[in-house]
Amino acid sequence: MFARASKRSLPQDVYRQSLSCLEGLQLPFLCPALFGQSLGEKKASSITKPRSRRRSERSPAAVVKRSGLVGFAQSRYLASAATAENASQRDTYLPWDYPGYVSQSYGQTFTGQSLDGVSAFDPGSPPLIIKDSLTTQPVRFRTTRDAISGDLNEIHQTLHACLQVGRLERAATLVRRLNEIYKPDAPGLLAAHNDYITELSHRIVQKRDQRLLEHLQRWFQIDLVDNRVEPDETTYAMMIRASSQRLDSKKDRTVRRYLNLAQEAGLSDETQALLSSYDDIDFNIAHYDKPHTVSSPAEDFTSEFAMPQTTLPEPKKSIEDVRHVEQKGAGLTTLKKALSIFSKGELSLSDAKDLLPTDRQRLLEENTVNAAIDRWREEDAHLKSLGINSSLSNTSVGSMMWEWHQKLIPVIEDDLRKSQEAEQKLKKSKSDEELLLWGPYLQSLPPEKTAAITILTAVKICSTETLDNQGVRTHNLVQGIGNAIQSESIAEVIRKKKKNKKLQRRAATVGLSSHGSTSNGDISESQEYEKLTWVASSKIKLAAALFAHLIQIAKSQVSKEDPKTGKQVQVLQPVFFHSYQYILGKRVGVVRLNSNMMDRLAKTPVVSTLAKYLPMVCEPKPWSGYHEGGFLDYATPAVRLHTSDAQSKQYAMVATRNGDMTQVFAGLDVLAKTPWNINRYIFDVMLEAWNSGQAIAKIPPENSPDDLPPEPAASDDPAVRYIWMKKVRESENYKAGLKSQRCFQNFQLEVARAYLGETFYFPHNCDFRGRAYAMTPFLNHMGADNVRGLLMFAHGKELTSTGLWWLKVHLANVYGYDKASFADRLAFTETHLSDIRDSVDQPLNGKKWWLMAEDPWQCLAACKELTEALALPDPTKYVSKIAIHQDGTCNGLQHYAALGGDVVGAQQVNLEPGDRPSDIYTAVAELVKGEISKEAVKGNGLAKALDGRVTRKVVKQTVMTNVYGVTFTGAKRQVRRQLDDLSIDFPDSKEINRITAAPYIAKKIFAALAKMFNGAHDIQKWLVDCAGRISESLSPEQIAHVGKSARGEHIPSIFKKTPIKTVQKDQAAEFKTTVIWTTPLKMPVVQPYRKQSTRRIETNLQKVTIRTKSAADPVHKAKQLQAFPPNFIHSLDATHMFLTALKCHEVGMTFAAIHDSFWTHAGDVDTMNRVIRDAFIRMHSEDIIGRLAAEFKARYQDYMRLASVRVDTPVGQKIMAWRRANSKGALSTGHAASKAKTVKQHKWEELLLERRRLDLLASEDAKEQEEGRRMVTPGKLFSEEADEKSLAPLDAKPAVIGLTPGSRDAKLKANQQLTVGDEENAEPTDSVHDVELDESFEDSATAIEANDKVSDGEEEMVGSSEDVKDTSTPINARRYARKIWVWLPLTFPPVPKKGDFDVTRLKDSQYFFS
């Protein structure tokens, strides 16, 4: 927890277990063929850390500090499990041909260079394992009179903030508080001292401040050495660096003293290496090599040092004012003028060609906020010159924002002044304490910039993230404001450090990976970013305070009708309204925009709110570190994670340091290097359609139709009025949605307008599964149809004959005619050539054929491209820029069919060659209709009503999402929504209606999928079973901790003080093991689903609840089970995309992708299709599931799981008998609490007993082996039975292909007992559960204490499979099987047998991606 807070590096000392311990393990690091490189021998460990000699008497804690550990010395370290090497053989098949396609090899089309830094796959490389199972929740201490928080993480982060803004007195107070809390050898204490000393040394070097130097030397002796805190190489290097600035005759003696101290500590080489990395001092080590008598450190302190605030150097402003461009008129100016920072003098954006692209991009990132302020000022000045008041309702939004901005600045300045005064007060009030908590963060930016960011973010969030008609949640709003200010603060600090070469950070002296692209400087950059991250509570408090000020300041005049006179009057109203709403039964704070303001933003958006994260005007920075890549100066992570997901972040950062993310980074760079332009023709048509205010081509109308039903009379039936109110709410929500959609599309149109004539790029990062996403939210190719239609490649390529063929097929695809054969699609386009030309010539006044397309704007772009090509004498010579798409057929099912070898399933998702494309949705719909028809013949009333009414559209969404883990409740909702949208004439009786029809159809869909994908069904069940076992297991470290606790051994603490709150339960013994696996590209994937701890923060706006989760929190078993199958498939499709991207780049093609939709030029589609198939075959020619099983065996070696055994089985009876024989007297107490406690102790005893038995059996000593064989434990009894059928089913049963668990199971998994008369008991066998796995129940096995109240005579009840099937037996006569717990080694079920489908057959499937 404190590694991030203390600016320490992540663990580096990685040990790798011997290869023999995991003989036969082959990890899925495949596809070497795509890079044309052979697999070499296994590389040695990539992590080395040369050190000079050390003193033998160094304390153990100092050694622990070297590896960056805090808390328990064993709580966080790295290990690896070795694997056996596996060299894949390269297949040399001939790719399939399209009709009329001229075969050619990759080499014949190669025009680019091979990717630098992309290494060959190394199957011998072990998985990354971070052993953090002993991590516990951070402890808290009492808050001091100086308003220092009791949370250690907050103290460290506030310390960094104070150092950043120059509040050195406050920083010194915080470090002294840590002196009181930590023991001297605690690594967190040394890290805090080093932070403070490093910052002071920087300031001394900058100003040569002798008073500050005296203070630093006194600090080293009194606060560091005299408190028995042992310095390290960083401490000595910073002291030498600062001492070299001494101006008197004692300079040499002082420097030599610190050099000698470093030498005595065995840190001479490391200290000198650090000093050599700074070019801001003239340091010659040879000058100090001569022997010299060193005086006592205290002899050089000549005077008491006081540290007045005036002597501390203040940070300089690095952002210069931007020369604004004269604006004409008072309305909305374009974003192009907001981006006038690219210009010099009176030049426009497009004319400023004398600036390098990187310079223009850097100016864009630096000055967007200032540009917005300048624009507001100009609009306000223009209105005042016309004699118009800025607060009037008809003035521009920008001028109103200028007025708010000018009023908010002095309020912020007043808060800063109060914060600094509070530090000097001896007795601090509650408000003073609050100001001291978030005051340093408020000081991190100038008040002008803080005020502007607050206004911009508040308006943006309120106008684009409104929940229906209820507003935006206050939590989301203040979180957004806080994140925006933090992001700008971090970016500004990093920009200053990059610009000031004299402030170079530490250059790492560690030899890193040979993989090539991850440099030592990148590690320092990531550490710098982590150090600058703010405390969550302080960020929320600051944002809430700023928004509370804005609520009081932001006013607007609104025209209202006087109810008495009927005249229009001007009323001053707040722009933001803070209130409370009841959402899902909970009282939630929400913020709403004034309706008048919302209407104005829908018509004229504040384009300055889009200032950050716009498309880049230069190539994005290649990814070389976790925070190094993408935007030039804005530090964004390579892996987008939740802010509280510390474990995933740690894995990603360590993998980056080890070089394991090299291939993923290379793939992200390929996507980011694709240059784009705005399609001017589409933009002009879209702008004309927009300005008309009409609903055209998915553009919502400017004025929503007022179709409210007439209000019923007061005397009408209340049920009638209820129905009317429901329709009114639906109508209002619909109109609010249209307004929000139009507002967002207006943002997109303005961004596109600014980039007309520009070449721009979309930087990419990925999520925790490896799926790539563009980092520019308002304009990117992953947007809706209107955005995709606006975009085209910046560089064109000749169509060629095959390209012209593909352009025609693409036009049919985007029109919606994409289920036919290629020949039919080609004929469709050629048949409508006259409509295509008319669409291009008269898009809004002609026959408007393109408006009937499924994707109208993309269709119009294709029409334009084809029309221009056909106008040439030789259409194949036309230089095309449009992107041609190749989409997978339900790509998740394609991966499942390949994994399971399903012959029938492969046919339905086009893995099997065919003359026409198979449509899985139509196939499922036909099966469902067939089953319904059969039941209709038998007299089923619901089947009769549905007979002939089920269409492809009804089943499509459920089929698509079933493979990604949709629950049955979700499937029912999807089907019902489709039935509502179809508006079919359907009965509405009590027994037969849409509500009863939805689950009936959903069951049929699940059953149809089970028939088609038997292998996929088995694999999903296997994945779920593995996740269930992992999520209820304990690591070897946790078991050892339990043993120490049972023996009463003392666990050392790093604290001198006692925390204010002792933990009631043993956190180290909770189930914390999450599912982790490695993708074929060596990216570690960590499922982040844990029981989140919450914290309520009091702000001056309202109480805000924040959620945090870390490796210290127990896992959420239900979510682990539910999410693993879809997440695993997502990691595979991400790998497939990256492999395709890398090869396409290698052979010189332009490439873009949206997950399973791959884009390139028309002339290159054939080549890309061969790459797509080659990559897929390479992946699935390997035993991916077998390798995953082998990785699990290695990763979770020596883990123990708490399994459940059915008591009605022979092994269950034997375990019960053993416990009765061995536990007599243990449960004799009659007190319930004591009884439960004894059961818990009994579980620990059995765990340790079983662990000892397994250790004895694994011993090399024959006597110990014999002793282990003689031991009898429940685990041994189970192993002798060797029958996993005796295991009770999982408590949580996520939906898998074809699986629809009954609601009885849903109740049982929630630990509810069924009672006589319960209607749920009367459901038939195939009844479905109505419980969302991720919402409706708490995992009963989150902690071992979950079953503590169940004694040997009170086992839990689970419905047996026989009972579920038997619905004819009376409820009270049904039998239920009890279950008992037993500790077993964590093993995994056998991998399902693969079917007969040969994945290489898809090389001839022309509709696999089409």
Which residues form the catalytic set? 887, 956, 1156
Query: Which amino acid is present at 1042?
Result: V
| H helix runs in 614-679, sequence order | 646-658, 662-672
Q: In 3D, which of 401, 431, 546 has the Cα closest to residue 483?
A: 546
Q: In 3D, which of 1212, 1200, 1201, 1206 has the Cα closest to residue 1356?
A: 1206
Cα separation of 99 and 1166, whole Å? 11
State both tokens at 111: 């025009």
Query: How many CB atoms sit inside 10 A of residue 1093's CB?
Result: 15
- CA-derived radius of gyration, the chain: 34
Enumerate the β-bridge partners of residue 1076: 1086
Query: Which amino acid is present at 1152?
Result: A
Query: Is residue 451 packed enough to be buried (19+ CB in 10 Å), middle (13-18) or exposed (0-12)?
Result: buried
Q: How far is CA 1069 from CA 497, 630, 1058, 1066, in A?
A: 44, 41, 22, 6
Collect contacts of 553-561 with beta carbons under 8 A, ≥24 apart: 553/404, 553/407, 553/408, 553/411, 554/400, 554/404, 554/455, 555/391, 556/391, 556/393, 556/400, 556/594, 556/596, 556/597, 557/391, 557/392, 557/393, 558/393, 558/594, 558/596, 559/393
CA angle 467–473–477, rounded 5-degree value: 115
Query: Do 1289 and 1397 meet the contact criterion of CB atoms below 8 Å apart?
Result: no
Cα separation of 57 and 61, whole Å? 11
Enumerate the β-bridge partners of residue 1255: none
Name the pairing type of β-strands 555-561 and 568-574.
antiparallel
Cα separation of 88 and 121, whole Å? 10
Q: In 3D, which of 641, 506, 658 has the Cα closest to residue 10?
A: 658
Q: What share of the chain is helix, strand, coil (3-state, %, to 5)?
A: 50, 10, 40
| C-alpha 939: how far from chain center | 51
Place of tokens 């009844």: 1327
DSSP label at residue 392? S
Residues 6+ apart with CB under 8 A from 423: 167, 169, 170, 436
State both tokens at 1029: 């076992």
Place of tokens 């890193």: 512
Query: Do 1077 and 1127 meet the contact criterion of CB atoms below 8 Å apart?
Result: no
Residues 6+ apart with CB under 8 A from 552: none
Q: Phi then psi for 1134, rounded to 5 degrees?
A: -65, -40
Instruction: Characterize 802-831 residue by residue with b for buried, 16 or more Cβ atoms within 10 angstroms of its Cβ, and e for exposed.
Output: bbbbbbbbbbbbbbebbbbebeebbebbee
Name the pairing type of β-strands 77-80 and 15-16.
parallel
Q: Give, rounded to a whole angstrom, the gap between the first and last alpha carbons of the chain.
A: 48
Enumerate the β-bridge partners of residue 879: 798
Enumerate the β-bridge partners of residue 1154: 1157
Query: Do 1265 and 974 meet the contact criterion of CB atoms below 8 Å apart?
Result: no
Cα separation of 395 and 1277, whole Å? 82
| H helix runs in 983-1030, sequence order | 994-1012, 1014-1030
Residues 6+ apart with CB under 8 A from 1331: 967, 969, 1303, 1306, 1310, 1337
DSSP label at residue 3? H
Q: In 3D, which of 13, 507, 15 has the Cα closest to residue 273?
A: 507
